[in-house]
Chains A and B, each alone.
Chain A
Amino acid sequence: MSRHHAAVRPDPRMNDTSLAPRGGRFEPRIAQRQRTGRLFRGLCLAAVAFGVVSLVVLLIDVTRDGLGVLSLDFLTRYPSRLPARAGIRSAILGSLWMVLLVTVLAFPLGVGAAVYLEEYAPKNWFTRMLQTNIANLAGVPSIVYGILGLAVFVRFLGFGRSVLAGAATLALLTLPVVIIAAQEAIRAVPSSLREASYGLGASRWQTIRHHVLPVAMPGILTGTILALSRAIGETAPLIMIGALTFIAFDPVTPMDSFTVLPIQIFNWTQDARAPFHDLAAGGIVVLLVVLLLMNASAILLRNKYQRKL
């Protein structure tokens, strides 16, 4: 009867009555469980809706308040005690200075560190510590970077409350994010590419420079742009290093005093007088547009190069 090999040992089950679990009482109550499931799904959907609706409400509120203020004058005038004559010129210039200088400082250092970690670093405790350190730095509150910048750049190195001090502080803030993004992009480069290059006798740096970096660059750029877009919105560190709130001139050299859009917005929002709130909203609209452009370009960049691959 049994088709499989004869059991050598006496199988206790052969003589037992069936061992199969039977005769239990079940109350599956399927309809009720499905009802609960539908309720749950509704709650989760409501949660998603909350996020989306919050965004929409926020954007509408800000735009409604700020749209009336937007004009060419608004973009080209300095802040003023008279709301009708105030503008964000110095703030825009200050933010521009920040973006440029932070890129100049953080991009080479960040990519360099990423290249080192991915291509050169031996797998030892020091490298692990370095990696953990960078991950931790990414989570340090931005105001602590402000404290660091204040003590080191403003005071110790004597930069004063200048564009340079601000940019250096923001560069340190942005650095961990750039490193992590660049590392991911470099890691995504297939090792077959490196092996082919080494196989032809190229040195490590030649391989990186001519093969790895070009392939990883779109990802690196995307990550950098996203990191910079966060830097543009930073307020607290720059307040710490002394970026002022009432600047009525164009910052021309890296040692000039300056202000940035978020600080101007902060200052106007805090003002007790209502017309300045609308100015703040106007500044917010400008800031959001700039961020939108930056993020859109980062996404376009990523899509363009993803299709190529």
Chain B
Amino acid sequence: MSSVIANPAVGEGVETALETRELSVHYGDKAAIKGISLSIPRHRVVAFIGPSGCGKSTLLRCFNRMNDLVPSARVSGEVLFRGQNLYASDVDPVEVRRRIGMVFQKPNPFPKSIYDNVAFGLRINGFKDDIGERVEQSLRAAALWDEVKDRLDDNALGLSGGQQQRLCIARALAVEPDILLMDEPASALDPIASGRIEDLIGDLKRDYTIVIVTHNMQQAARVSDFTAFLYIGELIEYAETERLFTNPAHERTEAYITGRFG
């Protein structure tokens, strides 16, 4: 619980997309995360790993103020995005969420057409250009366009699990987020679909900053540039993925990645 902000990319000339300072979340009396200070580098993929209940999802949800939806959650500390504290009293979470998008564990397309799913975010955020064009762009960016271009008016629930998840990604990309948060995006999918999501993440890295929570260590090793290991609400270690997995600095990190618990 130090007040030094962990930043494994320091010195590489990489900008910071998001920074937390002494971030803590309490659900009632229980502390889900305690005093976490870290920095997310821009245009990189950062993975949060750790055993169940370590707070990685809670931490992720702080970044787009999704914890606001839980009545019993109390957040203290700061989350800095573009120099502003997202938890300042004059910040409307609605503003935050367009800039910081989220993809969830279980694909959750709306029971609307494929087109309307992607267009939804555009319509509510007052998109002024051609919606049809933007829908196509987003679906291409999510590697789904070729599969659905002839049936945009079909109900999204008719797609396979993997396709639905890519649709959710397209939906999130359409509103031009800077950061894309992914909460175990592939865990509900079969291995092939899961692999396609991983490929997609690799491609998206060029244009977005991605933070991904995963309980699959191999996936974290494959997909991310930096990995943060959390344990019981605390940040234990945060380093370049290759180094963390081959030469962890902390004993507990090593115990986790070698499968001794979790």
Contact = CB atoms under 8 A, between A and B. Distances in A.
B202 A4 contact: yes
| Residue picked from B127, B138, B203, most chain A C-beta under 10 Å | B203
Interface residues of A, number: 19
A139 interface: no
A19 interface: yes
Given A4-B202, A20-B207, A26 B128 contact: yes
B125 interface: yes
Name the prevailing secondary structure of the A interface residues. Answer: loop
Contacts of A28: 94-95, 98, 125-126
Contacts of B94: 28, 30, 33-34
A26 B98 contact: yes
Interface in A14-44: 18-22, 24-30, 33-34
Given A4-B202, A28-B95, A19 B129 contact: no
B208 A27 contact: no
A34 B125 CA distance: 12
Contacts of B173: 20-21
B245 to A, nearest CB: 11
B9 to A, nearest CB: 16
Contacts of B122: 24
A197 B40 CA distance: 60
Interface string A125-163: 000000000000000000000000000000000000000
A33 B95 CA distance: 11
Specify the main secondary structure of chain B where it touches its partner. Answer: helix
Q: How large is the interface on B (under 10, 10 to 19, 20 to 34, 35 or more residues)?
A: 20 to 34
B46 interface: no
B204 A30 contact: no
B129 A20 contact: no
Contacts of A27: 125-126, 128
A4 B128 contact: no
B134 interface: yes
B128 A19 contact: no
B207 A18 contact: yes
A30 B91 CA distance: 11
A65 B262 CA distance: 71
Interface in B187-238: 198-199, 202-204, 206-208, 222-223, 225
B127 A24 contact: yes
B92 A26 contact: no
Contacts of B62: none
Interface string A217-236: 00000000000000000000
Interface in B130-152: 134, 137-138, 140-141
B223 A3 contact: yes
Interface of A: 2-4, 7, 13, 18-22, 24-30, 33-34
16 contacts: A3-B202, A3-B223, A3-B225, A3-B241, A19-B140, A20-B176, A20-B204, A21-B141, A21-B173, A26-B125, A27-B126, A28-B125, A28-B126, A29-B126, A30-B95, A34-B94
